[in-house]
Amino acid sequence: MSTITATAPPTASNSAGKLYRLGRIFGADGRTVVLPVDHGTMLGRVSGLEDPAALLETFLPLGPDGFLLGPGLAARTAPAFAHRNAPARLLTIDTYWRGEQSGEHVLMTSLAHAAALGVDAVKVLMPWDVPAEERAARAKLIGQVIIEAEPFGLPVMVEPIVLASPRPANATQIEADGARMAAELGADIIKVMTPDDPSLLSDWSRELGLPIVILGGPAGCTTDDLLETVQEAINAGARGITIGRKVWQRPVDEATELLVKLAQIVHPDR
């Protein structure tokens, strides 16, 4: 009996919409290659991403599963996605700025605007190596985003992250705590750094009941190291990657080759 003619579990329109959108992000193998080009929303005119629309156009033909981008770029590049085989779009809706004493986390746009743009998910940061009071503020904001996204059927990707550099010894523990908090708040996708022991990804996936995608972070490792890290993460249960700077902060030819190899690791059967 086919899946769609069988009596399905009861659904609401927003839940059906969420299912539809998540299916556009994750391929038939349940995995995804997302190329983030949203760095201007925090890093400004970052090296290698000076012209995000041009970069997007360069990498579109490689067929990543999705792009992560900010509101302005999403509106400007809508024509490039205005066909049925286009990658998914995940919208970064927040910006976070860390001062000496404290950090401020705000939304750049509204969930209603995200829905109007027709993106497939929204994404928010969750800095978690922050003072207790800020954790409360982060949890409140992310909880509100999740509540407001729900009637629009928009999935929410949350990125629990340790921002301190160098990373403290307990960074993985902090990010594990943040991931749990994100799951408790109702996140749909977790974006996180691969822990030193990648097998933790397997534990976290089971425990959280959510797809986990791994981030890249600043450039600076060899392509071989990156490929190995990603392979380990995928082996350990990661459902995909959102790696930007480590890809496009290289010469275009090298970046292209690297993205193709990463896609092969994530989607070996494609």
Which residues between 72 and 91 bind a copy of itself (CB under 8 A)? 72-88
Alpha helices in 186-222 (DSSP H): 199-208
Q: Which stretch binds a copy of itself (CB under 8 A): 24-32, 190-198, 240-248, 254-262?
A: 24-32
**Contact string 146-165 vs a copy of itself (x = CB under 8 A):** xx--xxxx-x----------
DSSP secondary structure string for all residues of 60-117: GGG--SEEEE-HHHHHHTHHHH-STTPPEEEEE-EEEEE-SS-EEEEESS-HHHHHHH
| 85/222 with CB nearer a copy of itself | 85
Q: Nearer to a copy of itself by C-beta: 112 or 260?
A: 112
Rounded Cα gap, residues 204 and 124, in angstroms: 19
In whole angstroms, what is the distance from residue 196 CA to residue 174 CA?
13
**By rule CB under 8 A, what string of x and - marks binding of each residue 45-74 to a copy of itself?**
x----xxxxx-xx-------x----xxxxx
Nearer to a copy of itself by C-beta: 106 or 260? 106
What minimum distance in Å lies between the beta carbon of 83 and a copy of itself? 5
**CA 192/CA 44 separation, integer angstroms:** 22
Sites for a copy of itself among residues 184-223 (CB under 8 A):
184-188, 203, 205-207, 209-211
Nearest to 247 by CA among 33, 35, 31, 26: 35
Can you tell me the distance from the alpha carbon of 134 to that of 174, in angstroms, rounded to the nearest whole number? 14
Q: Does 169 bind a copy of itself (CB under 8 A)?
A: no
